[in-house]
Amino acid sequence: MAITTDETKANDDDQVHQKGVKNLCENGVTKVPKKYILPEFDRADEVLQVDLTMPNLKLPVIDFSELQGPNRSEVLKSLTSACEKYGFFQVVNHGIPNNVISSMIDVSARFFELPIEVRSKYMSSDLTAPVRYGTSFNQNKDRVFCWRDFLKLVCHPSQDVLVHWPSYPTDMRRLAVTYAKEIKNLFVMLMEAILESLGLWGATMNMTEEVEKLIKQFQDGSQQMVVNCYPPCPEPHLTLGMPPHSDYGFLTLLLQDDVEGLQIQYKEKWVAVQPLASSFVVNVGDHLEIFSNGKYRSVLHRVLVNPAKSRISVASLHSLPFNSMVSPSPSLINKANPRRYKDTDFACFLEYISSFEPKRKNFLESRKLL
């Protein structure tokens, strides 16, 4: 059967798109290709979705240094409120040195400046690969691509995965592994506070066997860093950097440069999150919603793109070890609050996203009992 000219062009276009948005921009794209144009009801300027009276949202700010002092109980109340009301908060005074943060942003930007021939060496359709360069949200399933390139790095165990990480820029492994260790320590300490805020341990009760086991699992748990590049977009109203989604895992700690782009869904409206210097944006993941039996909820968020500026962010996603089962905490289940979620693990998640186009909170919805 002969291949038509249109089919040949479609195949050629698909090959171009698979190389990523950065490659398109380097080749002088002046219009958003059809593959990236969202249906009108999915676009960011849909007036019924965007709250024009509240263009920027000041997330609750958790002063991490206060968690270590006499005001811990008050900070825990703020943390509880943030996780219940917003599903997001920002952390300041976290103790991670500024040079570690700035170096991670800098080396991330330099990676995306490498020639496509170097970047493409890390392209893979294997969702379990220790390093994977790609584009869109899931280029294997997305019918419409989003305006993003990414580098995913599995961070644990470092002695096994580090050899697979990019060797260029030449300082990337050194800087990224330093950052990964710092952010993992911060995650574990935040989870200790969150477990306390859920009433599972605290000033009047020692850590239970359940909590001690969890902390150990978090220390040895899964960690993936997703380095995102959102190049300037000639027609930003037609596309998105990331579609609405929630995050897999317990917590995501996001490092971002000073270019706005992140929006969260708050009271059924889309609102922008104002970047705060030297802070991390932290959000509740699907696993924490399951573990808390719905007390803390993961929240839909998306990323807008900019017509003039490139945006770099580094998302660090944390959970239990890949082979561990995530379940609602028995301590948070009772007659008034019955079990609301099935058990889940990383294999369930991979099976789901390998079969379906990931949208919104569909995976989490598939784990609900009620």
Q: Could you report the average pLDDT of every consecutive run of 10 residues in the chain (370 residues)?
A: 42 65 94 94 60 64 92 95 96 97 98 96 87 86 91 92 96 97 97 95 77 94 96 96 93 95 91 88 96 96 95 97 92 94 84 67 84
Q: Residue 166 corresponds to which tokens in the numbers above?
A: 């990019």
d(CA 198, CA 76): 9
Kindly give, in sequence order, each residue whose CB lies less than 8 Å from that of residue 323, ignoring residues fewer than 6 positions away.
345, 346
d(CA 199, CA 195): 7
Q: In what order do the strands lie in the sheet with 223-230?
A: 61-63, 88-92, 280-284, 251-256, 311-318, 223-230, 149-154, 131-135
Tokens 């000639």, residue? 234
Residue 356: DSSP 8-state: S
The residue type of 64 is F
d(CA 187, CA 321): 14
Residue 279: DSSP 8-state: -
d(CA 126, CA 360): 22
Supply the pLDDT for residue 161.
Answer: 94
Distance of CA 105 to the CA centre of its chain: 16
Beta bridge partners of 272: 56, 263
Cβ neighbours, 10 Å, residue 48: 7
d(CA 256, CA 275): 8
Torsion angle in degrees (nearest 10) through CA of 16, 21, 26, 28: 80
d(CA 302, CA 62): 22
Supply the pLDDT for residue 337.
Answer: 92
| Residue 102 CB burial class (10 angstroms; 0-12, 13-18, ≥19) | middle
Supply the pLDDT for residue 358.
Answer: 60
Would you say the C-alpha torsion 151, 154, 155, 160 has a positive or negative sign? Answer: negative
Strand 61-63, strand 88-92: pairing: parallel
Helix (H, G, I), strand (E, B) or coil at 201: coil
Supply the pLDDT for residue 348.
Answer: 82
Tokens 């999915």, residue? 42
Torsion angle in degrees (nearest 10) through CA of 265, 268, 269, 274: -30
Supply the pLDDT for residue 120.
Answer: 93
Supply the pLDDT for residue 10.
Answer: 41
d(CA 225, CA 153): 5
Phi, psi (deg, nearest 5) at residue 191: -65, -35
d(CA 189, CA 88): 17
d(CA 324, CA 249): 12
Does the N-terminal peptide bond of residue 157 adopt cis geometry, omega within 30 degrees of 0? yes
Supply the pLDDT for residue 110.
Answer: 98
